[in-house]
Amino acid sequence: MTDRFEQTTTTTCGYCGVGCRLEAHRADGHVVSISPAMDGPANKGHTCLKGRFAHQFARSRDRLTAPLVRESGGFRLASWDEAVAKIADNLGRIKSEHGPDAIAGLASSRATNEDCYVMQRLIRAAVGTHNIDNCSRVCHSPTSFALRKSFGLSGATGSFDDIEQAQVALLIGVNPTQGHPVVGARIKQAALRGLKLITADPRRIELADYGELHMGNRPGTNAALMQGLAHVVIRDELVDRDFIDSRTEGYEAVEELAGTYTPEAVEGITGVPATDIEAAAHMYAEADRACILWGLGVTEHLYGSEVVQLICNLALMTANVGRPGAALLPLRGQNNVQGSSDMGALPDTFTDYRPVTDDAITSAFEERWGVEMKRERGMKIPEMFDAAVAGDLKAMYIFGEDVAQTDPDTAHVQKALESLDFLVCQDIFETETSKYADVVLPASSFLEKTGTFTNAERRLQLVSAAAEPPGSAKTDFEILTMVSAALGYEMGYETPSDVMDEIAEMTPRYAGQSHERIGRGGLQWPVAADGTDSPILYTDHFELPGGKARFAALPYKEPGDAADDDFPLILVTGRRLEHYNAGTMTRRTGNLELLPFDTLEVHPEDAASLGISDGDTVTVRSRRGEIALPVRLTERIERGHVFTAFHFPEVRTNLLVGSSADVNTSCPEYKVIAVSVEPEASAAPLAREPEREREPLIDAL
Ligand SMILES: Nc1nc2c(c(=O)[nH]1)N[C@H]1C(S)=C(S)[C@@H](COP(=O)(O)OP(=O)(O)OC[C@H]3O[C@@H](n4cnc5c(=O)[nH]c(N)nc54)[C@H](O)[C@@H]3O)O[C@H]1N2
Ligand SMILES: Nc1nc2c(c(=O)[nH]1)N[C@H]1C(S)=C(S)[C@@H](COP(=O)(O)OP(=O)(O)OC[C@H]3O[C@@H](n4cnc5c(=O)[nH]c(N)nc54)[C@H](O)[C@@H]3O)O[C@H]1N2
Ligand code: SF4
Ligand SMILES: [Mo]
């Protein structure tokens, strides 16, 4: 079979944060088939339908194959020399007229660690500002914030292998069979072998069918639910006193606060029966080894970061951290969203979350890079858009992020992009965002580049080129270093491996990282200078002053948006198995046949009272905007709630989303949007993408 391929390359999946290791098979210069690598530590010989089949996008006729520059309202093809000179001239002009802080960049969580490190160096050193961020802002920034506050480090405390060792797993606001399907499958298998699952989600997710107990709490009430669980654990003396005394601080205030959250009171807030809260608390706390997994149903809320702190509290009071089978596993989203933040593609931190306000750290990078830098943080993504609308931000360099489709409050984002003097987009396709660009640079997908991704277990894994970039497209590494040189700042790297060596040199917790050491098995950070890695964190101390973890006493507060007579339903947004985020890639694969358009999920009883039936097109209106899409009836959603995704540009879901965001990290409240649903569409009729010639769906296996 293998001799039908001219080459097989072992690499890492570029979709989600599970980090499946893949074998990419090439014929006629293209990747034509993918199979699982049997020794992948996260996937152990499995993949999902995206990693295994959704690779046709790479050879799509829509790929960007040459730079584009804006001319008289449209784009024309340009040479690399012309496009890069245009970027250097415009960024140089804006910097001299308005200062470097009038420029901002976004790094791509779809790209490698090395790409993201180079991007933040480009913005910090070649441009001269800390205005750099990545889409972790709209995703798990609350997780990162809270884990650092409670335990010290910004990453899962254990590994996926802990799932098979646990007796109980609590899943809150995460839907692994859709978002992280290989982990979803591992959980399902573990449940069939005896792992007790507790799920908390306003929708009855598939894994609820494999669990002991499902809690359909109202969107935005996780804090009350966590407090209710803590209340029962404390009241029924299920806490681990020795662990609390020897390894933690601040428990007393938590104990006092939890006293008010009786199961009955919490039932009133969350809608979860008091008896279920009692049962869930006992199941979790009585296990010897229990894991907690969470996702965006926790983070994308007004108090998302506080809920993650409450999750940490529950684990601490029952000593369910730092041991095999007792892990906190936030299921990080994109293939490298963990890594892009680890690399310092954030406005306030360098690598390993070390603050730009720390003089010693900034001085060390100044010396290494030969530049001077400020000691104040730069702008977060929403601040960038506000500054653009206000006229203070003049240019953006957006690398692998489709903000005009995926960020909240689309109308505001569009206004911001229109307000800019100069916009560069570096992507593999034209996107909603690149419509506003002055220069579009054609980059390479994960199948065409080398470097590393860091998965949701903090595991760095190698990415190896299985094919050439199409046309004159270049790798992100080549493009970013070339633009930097054109700005007069040579970085001096020859390959991405040199970048990893600098990361290791500059970052004590990553000291032992190198492409060679990462090898086939990967390395989980921290990595000591001798190469020893860390599958489990906090086995004997936490990474905070004094070595102790910190409890946080945080009461439940109401979500930012609320239903009323005009907007009586709550819209929750999330993911579909077949498509991926902006959908630029999966909509150009056979997955489009599996799911050709999006729908609004409505409970049959709500549909009856609204006078709508399955398949009807409806108008969904929020306080921000309106969209139109067809209805699908399902009993998996609680009454009073509706659900849709955001993978299709023609739907424009995020026109509905407002500016409410997590109090500590500005992560948008994508999960609670008060809406009305009306039978007849008064919004623009649902525009389907024009039929185009399909790519051949070759799959040689
Ligand atoms: N197929 C596919 N896989 C993906 C992606 C994709 O687009 N498609 N995207 C990737 C990315 S970037 C990410 S971040 C991950 C996200 O993966 P998940 O975190 O699993 O993503 P979501 O589906 O957005 O949200 C999870 C669940 O939260 C629930 N929820 C909403 N509000 C609340 C609440 O207040 N309380 C509770 N308890 N639950 C709530 C929703 O009903 C939903 O089932 O997936 C990654 N994997
Ligand atoms: N309503 C609603 N909106 C949401 C969410 C939600 O739950 N509800 N979730 C939010 C979350 S968690 C996230 S992470 C964001 C994701 O939002 P985005 O980051 O905008 O989405 P992606 O589709 O992951 O990828 C962004 C771009 O990267 C490009 N790309 C892929 N690989 C490469 C590469 O190697 N190089 C370059 N240069 N470009 C590449 C793709 O073509 C795409 O245009 O969406 C957010 N938006
Ligand atoms: S589970 Fe995630 S990493 Fe694995 S094949 Fe699917 S999309 Fe890729
Ligand atoms: Mo995400």
User: Which residues are near ligand 4, the ion (C-beta closer than 5 Å)?
Assistant: 139, 333
Q: Which atom of ligand 1 is nearest to the CA of 643?
A: 42
Quick: pLDDT tens for 560-597. 988 999 999 999 999 999 999 999 999 999 999 999 99
* Alpha helices, DSSP H, located in 357-514: 359-369, 381-390, 403-406, 410-419, 476-486, 496-506
In words, the CATH class of domain 569-679 is mainly beta
Measured by CA distance, the residue closest to atom 4 of ligand 3 is: 20
Ligand 1: atom nearest CA of 583 is 7
Ligand 2 mean position, distance from CA 365 (Å):
29
Check pLDDT > 50 for residue 689. Answer: no
pLDDT over 60 (residue 692): no
What is the CA(581)–ligand 1 centre distance, in A? Answer: 11
CA of 335 to the centre of ligand 4 (A): 9
Q: DSSP labels for 575-586?
A: --SS--TT-TTG
Q: What angle do CA 103, 106, 108 make, to 5 degrees?
A: 160
Q: What are phi and psi of 696, to 5 degrees?
A: -65, 135
Q: Torsions phi, psi of 586, nearest 5? A: -65, -30
Q: Whose CA is nearest to atom 28 of ligand 2?
A: 400
Predicted pLDDT of residue 3:
67
List the one residue out of 489, 510, 492, 370 whose CA is nearest residue 123: 489
Confidence (pLDDT) at 680: 73
Count Cα atoms within 13 angstroms, Cβ side, for 198. Answer: 26
How remote is the CA of residue 427 from the centroid of ligand 3, in Å?
Answer: 21
Nearest CA owner, ligand 2 atom 9: 139
Query: 278 burial class (0-12, 13-18, 19+ CB within 10 angstroms)?
Result: middle
Cβ-based neighbours of 589, under 8 Å, separated by 6 or more: 53, 54, 55, 56, 57, 695
- Does any ligand 1 atom lie closer than 6 A to the CB of residue 575? yes
Mean pLDDT to the nearest integer, 9-34: 97
d(CA 618, CA 677): 6
Distance 185 CA to ligand 3 centre (A): 11
Ligand 1 centroid vs 580 CA: distance in angstroms?
11
Question: Using one digit for the tens of pLDDT, what is the confidence trace for 380-425?
Answer: 999 999 999 999 999 999 999 999 999 999 999 999 999 999 999 9
Tell me how far the alpha carbon of residue 298 lies from the centroid of ligand 1, in angstroms: 9
pLDDT in tens, 292-319: 999 999 999 999 999 999 999 999 999 9
Whole-Å CA distances, 101 to 374, 382, 698: 10, 15, 48
Query: Domain locations in the chain?
Result: 2-59, 68-138+347-524, 141-330, 569-679
DSSP 676: E
> Is the CB of 179 inside a 6 Å radius of any atom of ligand 1?
yes
Ligand 1 center to 427 CA (angstroms) = 24
The span from the CA of 391 to the CA of 132, in Å, is 18
Of all ligands present, the nearest one to the C-alpha of 588 is: 2
Query: How far does CA 608 lie from the centroid of its chain?
Result: 36
Residues 6+ apart with CB under 8 A from 608: none
Residues 65-76, mean pLDDT to the nearest whole number:
95
Q: What is the pLDDT of residue 698?
A: 43
Task: Locate 298 and state its tokens.
Answer: 């926790």
- Residues near ligand 2 (Cβ within 6 A): 108, 110-111, 135, 138-139, 296, 300, 333-334, 399-402, 406, 426-429, 431, 443, 445-446, 476, 573-574, 580-582, 584, 646, 653-654, 657, 670
Nearest residue (by CA) to ligand 2, atom 3, is: 406
Of all protein residues, the one whose alpha carbon is nearest to atom 2 of ligand 3 is 16
Residue 73 above 90 pLDDT?
A: no
Residue 685 has pLDDT above 90, yes or no: no
pLDDT score of 600 more than 80: yes
Please give, one letter per residue, the 3-state secondary structure of 659-670: CCECCCCCCECC
In the chain, the percentage of residues whose pLDDT exceeds 90 is 95
pLDDT tens column, 637-650: 989 999 999 999 99
> Ligand 1 pocket test: which of 52, 108, 201, 579 has the largest number of ligand atoms within 8 Å of its C-beta?
201
Residue 294 pLDDT: 98
Using a 6 Å cutoff on CB, does residue 587 contact ligand 1? no
More confident site: 396 or 695: 396
Tokens of 509: 């917790």
- 671 CA → ligand 2 middle, Å: 17
pLDDT for residue 4 = 81
Residue 333 CB less than 6 A away from ligand 1 = yes
Which atom of ligand 1 is least distant from the CA of 575? 23
pLDDT at position 690 over 80: no
Distances, alpha carbon 224 to alpha carbons 78, 271, 308, 328, 594, in Å: 56, 11, 12, 19, 38
Rounded distance between C-alpha atoms, residue 198 and residue 210, angstroms: 9
> Which has the closest alpha carbon to 75: 435, 562, 558, 537?
435
pLDDT tens digits for 24-57?
A: 999 999 999 999 999 999 999 999 999 999 999 9
| Homologous superfamily of domain range 2-59 | ADC-like domains (2.20.25.90)
Number of residues that this document lists for the chain: 701
Residue 480, token pair as written in the block: 């970013």
**DSSP letters along 175-186, please?**
-HHHHSHHHHHH
Identify the DSSP state of 636: T
CATH topology of domain 141-330: Dimethylsulfoxide Reductase; domain 2 (3.40.228)
Q: Take atom 4 of ligand 1 and give the residue whose Cα is closest.
A: 179
φ and ψ of 395, to 5 deg: -140, 145
Read off the pLDDT of residues 245-288 as tens digits, 9 standing for 90 and up.
999 999 999 999 999 999 999 999 999 999 999 999 999 999 99
Ligand 4 centre distance from Cα of residue 231 (Å)? 31
Confidence of residue 682 (pLDDT cuts 50, 70, 90): low
Ligand showing the shortest atom-to-Cα distance for residue 335? 3
Minimum-distance ligand to the CA of 221?
1
Model pLDDT for residues 323-368, shown as the tens digit of each residue = 999 999 999 999 999 999 999 999 999 999 999 999 999 999 999 9
Which residue is closest in CA terms to ligand 2's atom 47?
Answer: 406
* Closest C-alpha residue for ligand 1 atom 26: 174
In this structure, the residue with its CA closest to atom 19 of ligand 2 is 401
Architecture in CATH of 68-138+347-524: 3-Layer(aba) Sandwich (3.40)
Q: Which residue's CA lies nearest to atom 6 of ligand 1?
A: 580
Write out pLDDT tens, residues 451-460: 999 999 999 9
Q: Report the distance separating Cα 46 and Cα 37, nearest Å.
A: 8
Which residues have C-beta atoms less than 6 Å from ligand 3?
13, 15-16, 18-20, 43, 47-48, 50-51, 180-182
